[in-house]
Amino acid sequence: QDRPRKALEVAAAGGHHLLLSGPPGAGKTILAERLPAILPTLTRQESLEVTAVHSVAGILPPGEPLVARPPYCAPHHSATMQSLIGGGNGMPRPGAVSLAHRGILFLDEAPEFSVRALDALRQPLESGHVVVARSAGVVRLPARFLMVLAANPCPCGRHSLSGAGCECPPSAVRRYQARLSGPLLDRVDLRVPVDPVRREDLMGQGGRGESTASVAARVQEARARAAERLAGTGWSTNSEVPGHELRTRLVAAPGALLEAERDMERGMLTARGLDRVLRVAWTVADLRGADRPDASDIAVALELRTGIPRGALTKAGAS
Protein backbone atom coordinates (compact mmCIF):
# COMPACT_ATOMS: atom_id res chain seq x y z
CA GLN A 1 0.00 0.00 0.00
CA ASP A 2 2.65 2.51 -1.10
CA ARG A 3 0.32 5.42 -1.86
CA PRO A 4 -1.66 5.28 1.43
CA ARG A 5 1.56 4.78 3.41
CA LYS A 6 3.07 7.89 1.80
CA ALA A 7 -0.11 9.77 2.70
CA LEU A 8 0.18 8.62 6.34
CA GLU A 9 3.76 9.91 6.45
CA VAL A 10 2.73 13.30 5.07
CA ALA A 11 -0.25 13.46 7.46
CA ALA A 12 1.96 12.73 10.47
CA ALA A 13 4.70 15.16 9.42
CA GLY A 14 2.38 18.11 8.83
CA GLY A 15 -0.70 17.33 10.94
CA HIS A 16 -2.91 17.06 7.85
CA HIS A 17 -6.39 15.50 7.89
CA LEU A 18 -6.77 12.33 5.82
CA LEU A 19 -9.52 10.41 4.01
CA LEU A 20 -8.90 6.76 3.12
CA SER A 21 -11.51 5.42 0.71
CA GLY A 22 -11.73 1.90 -0.64
CA PRO A 23 -13.49 -1.47 -0.38
CA PRO A 24 -13.70 -3.53 2.82
CA GLY A 25 -10.59 -5.55 3.58
CA ALA A 26 -8.21 -3.20 1.75
CA GLY A 27 -6.46 -2.21 4.99
CA LYS A 28 -7.91 1.23 5.80
CA THR A 29 -8.33 0.52 9.52
CA ILE A 30 -4.92 -1.14 9.86
CA LEU A 31 -3.28 1.86 8.19
CA ALA A 32 -5.01 4.30 10.54
CA GLU A 33 -4.08 2.24 13.60
CA ARG A 34 -0.40 2.42 12.63
CA LEU A 35 -0.40 6.22 12.46
CA PRO A 36 0.20 6.84 16.22
CA ALA A 37 3.49 4.93 16.02
CA ILE A 38 5.04 7.43 13.59
CA LEU A 39 3.88 10.57 15.41
CA PRO A 40 6.51 12.33 17.55
CA THR A 41 6.29 12.23 21.34
CA LEU A 42 4.31 15.12 22.82
CA THR A 43 6.19 18.21 23.88
CA ARG A 44 6.02 19.27 27.52
CA GLN A 45 3.30 21.85 26.80
CA GLU A 46 1.28 19.43 24.64
CA SER A 47 1.58 16.76 27.33
CA LEU A 48 0.19 19.14 29.94
CA GLU A 49 -2.75 20.05 27.67
CA VAL A 50 -3.63 16.41 26.93
CA THR A 51 -3.23 15.36 30.56
CA ALA A 52 -5.56 18.15 31.71
CA VAL A 53 -8.31 17.08 29.28
CA HIS A 54 -8.00 13.40 30.18
CA SER A 55 -8.02 14.25 33.88
CA VAL A 56 -11.26 16.25 33.53
CA ALA A 57 -12.79 13.34 31.57
CA GLY A 58 -11.72 10.89 34.31
CA ILE A 59 -9.75 8.63 31.96
CA LEU A 60 -6.21 9.42 33.09
CA PRO A 61 -4.47 6.07 33.70
CA PRO A 62 -3.57 5.47 37.35
CA GLY A 63 0.07 6.03 38.13
CA GLU A 64 0.62 8.09 34.97
CA PRO A 65 0.95 11.77 35.93
CA LEU A 66 1.53 12.96 32.35
CA VAL A 67 0.38 11.62 28.98
CA ALA A 68 3.53 11.41 26.82
CA ARG A 69 2.22 9.86 23.59
CA PRO A 70 -0.37 11.40 21.23
CA PRO A 71 -3.82 10.04 22.10
CA TYR A 72 -5.82 7.89 19.69
CA CYS A 73 -9.60 8.12 19.79
CA ALA A 74 -11.80 5.96 17.56
CA PRO A 75 -15.52 6.36 18.40
CA HIS A 76 -18.05 3.92 16.95
CA HIS A 77 -20.15 5.17 14.05
CA SER A 78 -23.23 5.07 16.28
CA ALA A 79 -21.73 7.89 18.41
CA THR A 80 -23.98 10.90 18.95
CA MET A 81 -23.03 14.50 18.25
CA GLN A 82 -22.80 15.05 22.01
CA SER A 83 -20.28 12.24 22.46
CA LEU A 84 -18.19 13.58 19.58
CA ILE A 85 -18.24 17.29 20.43
CA GLY A 86 -18.82 17.18 24.19
CA GLY A 87 -21.70 17.95 26.52
CA GLY A 88 -23.86 15.99 28.93
CA ASN A 89 -26.16 16.94 31.77
CA GLY A 90 -24.92 19.70 34.04
CA MET A 91 -21.38 20.86 33.42
CA PRO A 92 -20.25 19.90 29.87
CA ARG A 93 -17.71 17.10 29.59
CA PRO A 94 -15.06 16.56 26.89
CA GLY A 95 -16.13 14.70 23.76
CA ALA A 96 -14.06 12.64 21.32
CA VAL A 97 -12.65 15.73 19.58
CA SER A 98 -11.14 16.90 22.87
CA LEU A 99 -9.99 13.45 23.97
CA ALA A 100 -8.10 13.32 20.65
CA HIS A 101 -6.45 16.72 21.28
CA ARG A 102 -2.84 16.67 20.02
CA GLY A 103 -3.47 13.18 18.72
CA ILE A 104 -5.67 11.30 16.26
CA LEU A 105 -9.43 11.14 15.81
CA PHE A 106 -10.23 8.11 13.65
CA LEU A 107 -13.74 7.79 12.23
CA ASP A 108 -14.07 4.32 10.71
CA GLU A 109 -17.05 3.80 8.38
CA ALA A 110 -17.32 7.61 8.34
CA PRO A 111 -20.47 7.81 6.12
CA GLU A 112 -22.31 5.72 8.74
CA PHE A 113 -22.01 8.56 11.29
CA SER A 114 -24.98 10.90 11.44
CA VAL A 115 -24.73 13.87 9.07
CA ARG A 116 -25.39 16.21 12.01
CA ALA A 117 -22.48 14.77 13.98
CA LEU A 118 -20.10 14.94 11.00
CA ASP A 119 -20.97 18.54 10.17
CA ALA A 120 -20.42 19.51 13.81
CA LEU A 121 -16.75 18.65 13.28
CA ARG A 122 -16.25 21.54 10.87
CA GLN A 123 -15.86 24.22 13.54
CA PRO A 124 -13.20 22.46 15.68
CA LEU A 125 -11.33 21.44 12.51
CA GLU A 126 -10.89 25.12 11.68
CA SER A 127 -10.42 26.68 15.13
CA GLY A 128 -8.70 23.92 17.12
CA HIS A 129 -11.19 24.23 19.98
CA VAL A 130 -14.87 23.64 20.70
CA VAL A 131 -17.29 25.73 22.77
CA VAL A 132 -20.02 23.75 24.56
CA ALA A 133 -22.88 25.63 26.20
CA ARG A 134 -25.18 23.99 28.75
CA SER A 135 -27.43 25.27 31.52
CA ALA A 136 -24.64 24.83 34.09
CA GLY A 137 -22.19 26.91 32.11
CA VAL A 138 -20.14 27.40 28.96
CA VAL A 139 -16.88 25.48 28.49
CA ARG A 140 -14.18 26.06 25.88
CA LEU A 141 -12.29 22.82 25.30
CA PRO A 142 -9.15 22.27 23.20
CA ALA A 143 -9.68 20.17 20.07
CA ARG A 144 -6.64 20.33 17.79
CA PHE A 145 -6.44 16.83 16.38
CA LEU A 146 -5.43 14.96 13.24
CA MET A 147 -8.61 13.52 11.74
CA VAL A 148 -8.56 10.29 9.73
CA LEU A 149 -11.71 9.22 7.90
CA ALA A 150 -12.20 5.76 6.42
CA ALA A 151 -15.02 5.20 3.95
CA ASN A 152 -16.37 2.48 1.69
CA PRO A 153 -17.42 3.52 -1.83
CA CYS A 154 -21.05 2.42 -1.36
CA PRO A 155 -23.32 0.74 1.24
CA CYS A 156 -22.16 -2.77 0.26
CA GLY A 157 -18.56 -1.68 -0.24
CA ARG A 158 -18.04 -3.36 -3.63
CA HIS A 159 -18.80 -0.44 -5.97
CA SER A 160 -15.16 0.18 -6.95
CA LEU A 161 -14.35 -3.49 -7.60
CA SER A 162 -14.74 -4.87 -11.11
CA GLY A 163 -16.84 -8.03 -11.18
CA ALA A 164 -17.53 -7.89 -7.44
CA GLY A 165 -21.31 -7.91 -7.81
CA CYS A 166 -22.26 -4.51 -6.38
CA GLU A 167 -26.05 -4.20 -6.58
CA CYS A 168 -26.35 -0.71 -5.11
CA PRO A 169 -28.33 1.56 -7.47
CA PRO A 170 -26.53 4.76 -8.56
CA SER A 171 -28.85 6.87 -6.42
CA ALA A 172 -27.88 4.86 -3.30
CA VAL A 173 -24.18 5.27 -4.10
CA ARG A 174 -24.60 9.04 -4.52
CA ARG A 175 -26.56 9.35 -1.26
CA TYR A 176 -23.99 7.30 0.61
CA GLN A 177 -21.03 9.33 -0.65
CA ALA A 178 -22.89 12.62 -0.07
CA ARG A 179 -23.08 11.90 3.67
CA LEU A 180 -19.53 13.29 3.77
CA SER A 181 -20.51 16.84 2.86
CA GLY A 182 -18.52 19.12 0.59
CA PRO A 183 -17.69 21.63 3.37
CA LEU A 184 -16.35 18.80 5.56
CA LEU A 185 -14.26 17.25 2.77
CA ASP A 186 -12.92 20.68 1.83
CA ARG A 187 -11.18 20.66 5.23
CA VAL A 188 -9.50 17.31 4.51
CA ASP A 189 -6.03 17.85 3.03
CA LEU A 190 -5.33 14.30 1.83
CA ARG A 191 -7.82 12.07 -0.02
CA VAL A 192 -6.31 8.75 -0.92
CA PRO A 193 -7.89 5.68 -2.57
CA VAL A 194 -6.92 2.38 -0.94
CA ASP A 195 -6.92 -0.47 -3.44
CA PRO A 196 -7.34 -4.15 -2.49
CA VAL A 197 -4.10 -5.83 -1.44
CA ARG A 198 -2.50 -7.92 -4.17
CA ARG A 199 -1.97 -11.62 -3.59
CA GLU A 200 1.83 -11.42 -3.93
CA ASP A 201 1.99 -8.64 -1.34
CA LEU A 202 -0.26 -10.47 1.09
CA MET A 203 1.80 -13.65 0.78
CA GLY A 204 5.04 -11.75 1.32
CA GLN A 205 6.27 -12.08 -2.24
CA GLY A 206 6.25 -8.39 -3.07
CA GLY A 207 9.02 -7.36 -0.64
CA ARG A 208 8.69 -5.74 2.76
CA GLY A 209 8.12 -2.02 3.16
CA GLU A 210 10.01 0.35 5.40
CA SER A 211 10.01 -0.12 9.14
CA THR A 212 7.94 2.10 11.40
CA ALA A 213 11.14 3.45 12.98
CA SER A 214 12.48 4.66 9.61
CA VAL A 215 9.29 6.52 8.78
CA ALA A 216 9.02 7.95 12.31
CA ALA A 217 12.57 9.31 12.03
CA ARG A 218 11.72 11.12 8.79
CA VAL A 219 8.55 12.51 10.35
CA GLN A 220 10.55 13.78 13.34
CA GLU A 221 13.08 15.50 11.06
CA ALA A 222 10.32 17.12 8.98
CA ARG A 223 8.58 18.38 12.12
CA ALA A 224 11.86 19.82 13.38
CA ARG A 225 12.35 21.72 10.09
CA ALA A 226 8.81 23.11 10.30
CA ALA A 227 9.22 24.06 13.98
CA GLU A 228 12.44 25.94 13.21
CA ARG A 229 10.79 27.81 10.34
CA LEU A 230 7.69 28.65 12.38
CA ALA A 231 9.52 29.57 15.60
CA GLY A 232 7.93 32.57 17.30
CA THR A 233 4.72 32.42 15.26
CA GLY A 234 2.58 30.33 17.62
CA TRP A 235 2.22 27.57 15.01
CA SER A 236 4.07 24.27 15.23
CA THR A 237 2.93 22.32 12.14
CA ASN A 238 2.29 23.28 8.52
CA SER A 239 -1.42 22.47 8.83
CA GLU A 240 -1.84 25.40 11.26
CA VAL A 241 -0.32 28.11 9.06
CA PRO A 242 -2.93 30.59 7.74
CA GLY A 243 -3.34 30.92 3.99
CA HIS A 244 -2.31 34.58 4.02
CA GLU A 245 1.11 33.65 5.40
CA LEU A 246 1.54 30.98 2.69
CA ARG A 247 0.90 33.54 -0.04
CA THR A 248 2.95 36.42 1.37
CA ARG A 249 5.74 35.33 3.73
CA LEU A 250 6.20 31.57 3.23
CA VAL A 251 6.12 31.46 -0.55
CA ALA A 252 6.83 28.54 -2.88
CA ALA A 253 9.50 28.57 -5.58
CA PRO A 254 8.79 30.75 -8.66
CA GLY A 255 6.41 29.04 -11.07
CA ALA A 256 5.63 26.20 -8.66
CA LEU A 257 1.92 27.01 -8.46
CA LEU A 258 1.07 26.90 -12.18
CA GLU A 259 -0.57 23.46 -12.05
CA ALA A 260 -2.51 24.34 -8.89
CA GLU A 261 -3.73 27.57 -10.46
CA ARG A 262 -4.95 25.64 -13.51
CA ASP A 263 -6.87 23.26 -11.23
CA MET A 264 -8.45 26.24 -9.49
CA GLU A 265 -9.54 27.72 -12.83
CA ARG A 266 -11.14 24.37 -13.75
CA GLY A 267 -13.11 24.40 -10.52
CA MET A 268 -11.21 21.43 -9.06
CA LEU A 269 -9.88 23.52 -6.16
CA THR A 270 -11.51 26.14 -3.95
CA ALA A 271 -9.58 29.02 -2.39
CA ARG A 272 -9.45 27.02 0.86
CA GLY A 273 -8.34 23.99 -1.13
CA LEU A 274 -5.44 25.93 -2.66
CA ASP A 275 -4.27 26.97 0.81
CA ARG A 276 -4.38 23.35 1.93
CA VAL A 277 -2.40 22.25 -1.13
CA LEU A 278 0.27 24.80 -0.17
CA ARG A 279 0.38 23.48 3.40
CA VAL A 280 0.81 19.90 2.17
CA ALA A 281 3.47 21.00 -0.32
CA TRP A 282 5.49 22.55 2.54
CA THR A 283 5.28 19.24 4.39
CA VAL A 284 6.42 17.29 1.32
CA ALA A 285 9.34 19.72 0.97
CA ASP A 286 10.21 19.27 4.66
CA LEU A 287 10.24 15.48 4.24
CA ARG A 288 12.79 15.71 1.42
CA GLY A 289 14.86 18.35 3.24
CA ALA A 290 14.14 21.24 0.86
CA ASP A 291 14.06 24.91 1.86
CA ARG A 292 10.73 25.58 0.11
CA PRO A 293 8.28 23.74 -2.15
CA ASP A 294 8.90 23.48 -5.89
CA ALA A 295 6.64 22.30 -8.73
CA SER A 296 7.21 18.62 -7.86
CA ASP A 297 6.09 19.18 -4.26
CA ILE A 298 2.97 20.98 -5.47
CA ALA A 299 2.25 18.06 -7.85
CA VAL A 300 2.48 15.57 -4.96
CA ALA A 301 0.19 17.76 -2.84
CA LEU A 302 -2.34 18.03 -5.69
CA GLU A 303 -2.33 14.27 -6.21
CA LEU A 304 -2.92 13.69 -2.51
CA ARG A 305 -5.62 16.36 -2.43
CA THR A 306 -7.62 15.45 -5.54
CA GLY A 307 -6.95 11.71 -5.73
CA ILE A 308 -6.15 12.13 -9.45
CA PRO A 309 -2.97 10.19 -10.37
CA ARG A 310 -0.29 12.48 -11.82
CA GLY A 311 2.76 10.25 -11.36
CA ALA A 312 4.08 12.62 -8.70
CA LEU A 313 3.78 10.19 -5.80
CA THR A 314 5.62 7.47 -7.69
CA LYS A 315 8.53 9.84 -8.37
CA ALA A 316 8.50 11.06 -4.76
CA GLY A 317 8.63 7.49 -3.48
CA ALA A 318 11.50 6.65 -5.82
CA SER A 319 13.52 9.65 -4.61
The full set of domains in the chain, from first to last, is: 17-188 (3.40.50.300), 212-314 (no CATH)
Confidence of residue 310 (pLDDT cuts 50, 70, 90): low
pLDDT at res. 164:
62
Which of the pair, 271 or 180, is modelled with greater confidence? Answer: 180
The number of beta carbons lying within 10 Å of the beta carbon of residue 161 is: 16
Torsion of CA 184, 189, 195, 197, to 10 degrees: -120
Torsion of CA 249, 252, 257, 263, to 10 degrees: -70
Lowest mean pLDDT segment, chosen from 38-42, 123-127, 277-281, 287-291: 123-127
Which percentage of the chain shows pLDDT scores above 90? 55
Tell me the range of 102-111, 130-139, 203-212 where mean pLDDT is highest.
Answer: 102-111
Q: Is 148:104 a contact under the CB 8 Å cutoff?
A: yes
pLDDT at res. 53:
93
pLDDT at res. 43:
92
The 10s digit of each residue's pLDDT in 139-184 is 889 999 999 999 998 888 877 676 667 888 889 889 998 999 988 9
> In terms of Cα–Cα distance, which of 277, 76, 111 is closest to 188?
277
Q: Is 166:35 a contact under the CB 8 Å cutoff?
A: no
pLDDT at res. 208:
65
The 10s digit of each residue's pLDDT in 90-106 is 777 899 999 999 999 99
pLDDT at res. 134:
75
Instruction: Kindly tell me if the per-residue pLDDT of 282 is higher than 60.
Output: yes
Identify any residues that bridge with 191 across adjacent strands, giving them in sequence order: 19
